[in-house]
Amino acid sequence: MARYADPGVLEWVESGGGPLIAVPETVLPFWAGADSEELDTDYDRACEVDGHIGLLPVGDSAALVFGDEPAATSYLPDTATFVRWSAANSETELLAGVSFALDTAVWGSEVHWRVPGPVLLFDSAWPGQAAGRSEHLRVPLEPGTYSVRSAYVQPGPETWLGLVQLRRLGH
């Protein structure tokens, strides 16, 4: 797989071309990815998500789908934000634009995502049970309901990034 995000400060997750997905660890066995006997696989359902983010039922929970483009993605715990690397000459350049991007973002509509705890971010084509053996990122979310919003921002002349921010509700 081609690497667009050089190793740096953060761990970046990339896909083989389809959407990335964040699945609660408790329901990983219920995500079949592209490996399914069904006509419409879980991966197909993830590909049908319209826009930057969407939710798909998985077991008794839901997965967060990162739609639009298969950008390398990481998580910044201090701002509870997934950062999607669309264009930048380096990780340093990309991360330097995050504060400005958060301050100036025009956020899209929000979805409410109820999670039972930590989630794994990985390529939606992989089955959940194989996610730990593939490129993935564990995000230690607290159980609860999160408001999730997204934006696409150009913080510099050659820097474009996507933001998917989580805000925990009612705590």
> What's the Cα-to-Cα distance from 138 to each of 25, 132, 154, 161, 171, rounded to whole Å?
9, 9, 27, 21, 22
- The model's confidence at residue 150, banded by pLDDT at 50, 70 and 90, is very high
Model confidence pLDDT, tens digit, residues 88-113:
999 999 999 999 999 999 999 899 99
Q: Where are the domains of the chain?
A: 20-168
For the ranges 15-19, 53-57, 161-165, the lowest mean pLDDT is seen at 15-19
- Other beta carbons less than 10 A from residue 78's beta carbon: 5
Read off the pTM. 0.91
* pLDDT in the model for residue 3: 38
Question: How sure is the predictor about 35, in pLDDT bands with cuts at 50, 70 and 90?
Answer: confident
pLDDT given for residue 16 in this prediction: 86
Token readout for 34 is 């592209």
Tell me how far apart the alpha carbons of residues 79 and 166 are, in angstroms, rounded to a whole number: 8
Mean pLDDT across 34-48: 86
Local structure of 98: helix, strand or coil: helix
pLDDT value of residue 171: 64
Instruction: Give mean pLDDT, residues 43-48.
Output: 94
Q: Which residue has the tokens 């002349």?
A: 157
Predicted local confidence at residue 5, as pLDDT: 44
At 7 the pLDDT is 55
CA distance 74 to 84: 7
CA atoms of 23 and 125, how far apart (whole Å)? 12
